[in-house]
Structure 1
């Protein structure tokens, strides 16, 4: 189930990430969803969410309750 819009992302994701991180999450999830099409539906979704979080964590770090851009970007 690729996400057409940021507003379609799961509420826990939308509630905690800044806009740019949400864009990264959505793009990475949708790409992984396509890449792992041969997997079973539950595994495919699980992998896509893990890939999306990894993409966000590549650009952002959590400091306290806030997600801040990593210094090296």
Structure 2
């Protein structure tokens, strides 16, 4: 299910990622969800793709997600 706003994201995303990272996750998830619509594991693929998108700009340090050096 696509997410209309960051407030709609699952708690595991919303409560742990900074706002900008949530934007990245939501946009990547929604795009991937549409691209994999109708596939048996499409939602699972969309979650993997969204987390990969976040990890291109953010890294987890301890319990916090912080922007990586050189991130856009």
TM-score (norm 2): 0.94
- Matched with 1:65 is 63
More helix as a share of residues: 1
Structure 2: gaps of 5 or more residues:
none
Aligned pair count reads: 71
* Deviation at residue 37 of structure 1 after TM alignment: 1.3
Q: Secondary structure at the match of 2:59?
A: strand
Pairwise CA RMSD: 0.7
Q: TM-score, normalised by structure 1?
A: 0.93
Identify unmatched segments of 5+ residues in structure 1.
Answer: none
